[in-house]
Structure 1
């Protein structure tokens, strides 16, 4: 009986690994797809209840990046034109004895089509819906005293930005918390066009001009794009696909993005556009985009993460005064990265530079900002005072200013007192 049970468990693990459901090897290229990395490879799968002696959970405040989405219109058109033509070239080159793809890879590439509609650009995918439902179910198991199956408008807050992907993420998250009938009655706060809390950077004129539209912001990324490492990568990818010419960085970067989008969408398969990469080349493409996000959304400019004080004010106000026990906010990659930076999480010892890849960096977007990334703060009433537990990707993280995982709420408020007290959006963002 025990032997049969062990055999069953072993076979189950083999099957789930083969289907990419619950495990992935560290050297698997799907680990390195940047902001398009599937959440199923990155989150904490242990959903047992969170317990701390002499403490009782009281509130949760959670910021969630939307789930897996479709590409932008530009990338959809690029896939339907450039990659479509490239597919036939690759197949022809391999028929002529060039290239390194195997028969199964060629078969799957030959059957590839891009049937995404431009008018549905950036829409939440079916996998994105599942990500939200499963995330909600796990959080409820961890915190049953706060996140109850019964819905009351007075105790729950749901808020999203005016986009289809965040709106639908919020709705499917609610579906994971409650049964279908109750979920239909959930009240979502109306999305506002100018949201200086959930998308503070989008409406920050100073940041838009001095950071986003400043060519200097992309200098390090461009430097790496012209580096010897990247030139070698383009040669390696081109040779693997069978070309006697070197593909441009624009085309290889498009392959990388579509590889990510399609792999995140399809739970049980990898996009054929991943076949051109090995672990070394995919890591270099990952770093190319990490440089962009580091200088655009991370530690490159103080002006980038300073307005994230708007979220800190929302958090502190919620923990101190709001009656609601559970607050769920649905936003974007830029929101989450800037808040993580404001909190001084994943800060490298020095700025990321474009001369060569930094393999040991802590700021790795594939790990910290994949689809459905999230950060949660849980308030505990303890015998020695109110404390906060921080979860990122559903994993406990210790804030840099705290000695323990459970951080005194007053300690965090004191640490950020200057930024919160001086968080006047107009003063920060006006030109």
Structure 2
């Protein structure tokens, strides 16, 4: 099921994969009309559609140091989500249940796609897949490495490879992703065999497991996700259920919200894993997809993001690590000092990125999403489909400029301005530090996660 290549062939296979991908770019596969609404299960290419035609294309204009100053990048810190993966066991079991229900009880529709679902679609997912990285996921990270090395040739160069630090979550999909990223960089040197070098660091990349305030106050707190539960059983979701049941010829009560979501995820998995336009996709129109995306966004907002203060504060260790690394890279040096670390590559999960983005104050809408305001939330900035698709990345680019170090932020390779410093794409680093002074001087993990219970509750500022 998971191909194993003999030593020395991994890079060759990776290089051939990139070549074949570029050769096939003239025949971009048929993409489902709902592909941009899959939340955290969205392909990276839906955020950057130009990559469907050329996965190594780079837009250098995204780097925006002040044109009036001479600037050069001196350090890159990249916080990256793993690439495309198989479903986890929980979703595989839901898919199995849905598949059996449709095969044994569905009676509706003569459309070809319904016949394909009932008669031709095979349940090929097995529990041993359990969230592991797929070949497309390795491509996601290899190609990202290729693009970043083109964007920052002086930092991610062959001679700098040994000075770049790599840290990863211990989860298999993250370890495979950090290895694929290193393959993408080492292809530059034309080596015959990849040399993997990374540190497993769950304290940094899975901080959310160690924060007792978060685990007790949000993850195990039944009331913390009440907006999600209300929406799950509300009128918008019920309308989607009824429509889907009618299309399949199933009694409404047999199709639970979880099974509706399983069918939606099936469409996303088949696209992300096999680049297939699955027959399951035809069960949903765009309005259905927007409802299901909103349900997913509610979960991420109230579980991992701005909904509860402690969710963002749980990422304090990662926040401090990033700024300590930037401090070191931007510090004035004597000619005898060793050159700074050119890059720091940190590979984790959507659950790693979302709290950090929240702590930085990004994607916070004036009105929080709730179960009752779906119709007024269509213009929200908090859309996980755009923020944390597979291979999502948060890039901190430190420049050496005439007036001093400057810092630029990119999310998924697009410029994003720091809250409070919206006037500049790459403000002076000292101004960024001043903006986050309250977190740099505070944000103590032990105090926030083990201290007063009041810090664990809902975000009363919303």
What range describes the TM-score normalised by the shorter chain of this pair? 0.7 to 0.9
1:410 paired residue among 427, 430, 443: 430
C-alpha distance in 2, partners of 1:14/1:360? 32
Compute the RMSD of aligned alpha carbons.
2.2
Residue 194 of structure 2 corresponds to which residue in structure 1?
A: 184
Task: Check whether the contact 1:133–1:173 (CA below 8 A) recurs between aligned residues.
Answer: yes
**Cα pair distance change 1:366/1:109, threshold 3 Å:** farther
Deviation at 1:226, TM superposition (A): 2.1
> In structure 1, which of residues 341, 344, 350 is the aligned counterpart of residue 358 of structure 2?
341
- Is 1:265 the counterpart of 2:282? The answer is no
1:387 aligns with 2:397: no
Q: Which runs of 5 or more residues in structure 2 are unaligned?
A: 1-22, 52-56, 330-339, 452-462
Residues 102 and 248, structure 2, Cα contact 8 Å, conserved in 1: no
After TM superposition, the structure 1 stretch with the greater mean CA deviation from structure 2, 417-426 or 402-411, is: 417-426
Kindly indicate whether the alpha-carbon contact (under 8 Å) linking 1:48 and 1:141 is maintained by their aligned counterparts in 2.
no
Paired residues of 2:78 and 2:394 also in contact (CA < 8 A): yes
1:203-214 matches, within 5 Å, as 203-214=210-221
TM-score by length of 2: 0.82
For 2:195 and 2:167, locate their aligned partners in 1 and report how far apart those are by CA, in whole Å. Answer: 15
Q: Is the alpha carbon distance of 1:107 and 1:119 closer, same or farther for their aligned partners in structure 2, counting shifts above 3 Å?
A: closer
Deviates more, 1:370-379 or 1:305-314: 305-314
Contact kept? 2:99, 2:123, Cα under 8 Å: no
Give me the TM-score of the superposition, normalised by structure 1. Answer: 0.88
**CA 1:182–1:404 in 2, change beyond 3 Å: closer, same or farther?**
farther
* Distance in 2 between residues matched to 1:244 and 1:343, nearest whole Å: 47
Match of 1:73 in 2: 89
Q: Which residue of 1 aligns with 2:244?
A: 237
Residues 110-125 of structure 1: pairs in structure 2 closer than 5 A: 110-125=119-134
Check whether the contact 2:314–2:448 (CA below 8 A) recurs between aligned residues: yes
Is contact 1:109-1:272 (8 Å) kept?
Answer: no
- Once structures 1 and 2 are overlaid, which stretch shifts more, 241-250 or 381-390? 241-250
Alpha-carbon distance change, 51 to 75 in structure 1, aligned in 2, over 3 angstroms: closer
Residue 167 (structure 2) pairs with residue 148 (structure 1): no
Name the structure 1 match of 2:283.
276
Structure 1 position 328, deviation (Å)? 0.4
Deviations 1:110-149 (A, max 9, x none): 3222223312201001110110111111111111111113
Alpha carbons of structure 1 residues 186 and 172: separation in structure 2 relative to 1, 3 Å: same
Instruction: From the superposition, tell whether residues 343 and 227 of structure 1 become closer, same or farther in structure 2 (CA, over 3 Å).
Output: same
Cα distance between partner residues in 2 of 1:211 and 1:173: 33
Change in 2 beyond 3 A, CA 1:88/1:126 = farther
Question: 2:105 & 2:144 partners in 1: Cα distance?
Answer: 41
Other-structure match for 1:397: 416
Give the unaligned 5+ runs of structure 1: 1-11
- Give the CA deviation at 1:208: 0.3
